[in-house]
Amino acid sequence: MNYLRKGRKLRASGEIIDKRPDGMVKVKPTREDWGCVWLTPEEIEAGKDKPAYVPRPKPDAPDKPKRVRKPKPPPVPRWKQLVERVRVFEVDHHPRGWPGVRMDFLTELANELEAAHAGLL
């Protein structure tokens, strides 16, 4: 038996398992993952007629060109990340102040790392 539920466009099929005196019918759909539904006589009657075939419109040409994704930028090298962390201490503290590490040492360390990397290229 076929039926067409109210507000739906696609028909479904199933097996009648119960009827009520007011005309409602309990149907177990053929799909295993669907539960039982109560249908009106109008829904059952609508399922007997096939809905009109509506072909999909074929686009003549695409409206807009397909978006091309930009490639991801390469990751920041580890040495640059370390230099940035050291530079944070330089900006955040006085040259010879707290924390226990001397800021002039960190500055020289950062300069040395940058110079060493420039020499490798």
Write down the pLDDT at residue 83.
Answer: 78
Has residue 65 been placed in a domain? Answer: no
Structure confidence at residue 6 (pLDDT): 83
- At 94 the pLDDT is 66
**Better-scored residue on pLDDT, 17 or 90:** 17
- List Cα–Cα distances, 106 to 77, 110, 116, 121, in angstroms: 19, 6, 15, 23
> How many structural domains are present in the chain?
2
Domain presence at residue 87 = yes
Q: Residue holding tokens 């993952």? A: 33
* pLDDT value at residue 100: 60
Domain for residue 61, yes or no?
no
Mean pLDDT, the chain, as a whole number?
A: 81
Residue-wise pLDDT tens digits, 53-93:
678 887 776 677 778 899 999 998 877 887 787 777 666 66
Question: Does residue 63 fall inside a structural domain?
Answer: no
**pLDDT score of 75:** 93
Q: Is residue 54 part of a domain?
A: no
Percent of the chain's residues with pLDDT above 70: 84
Residue 87: the pLDDT is: 77
Output the pTM of the full model.
0.39
Asked if residue 69 is part of any domain, the answer here is no
Contact 30, 47 (CB under 8 A): no
Q: Judge whether 68 lies within some domain.
A: no
**Cis status of the peptide bond prior to 59, with omega within 30 of 0:** no
In a domain, 56, yes or no: no
The boundaries of the domain holding residue 94 are 78-120
CA 55 to each of CA 47, 52, 58: distance values in angstroms, whole numbers, following the listed order: 20, 10, 9
Q: What tokens were used for 9?
A: 């466009």
Collapsing DSSP to helix, strand or coil, 88 comes out as helix
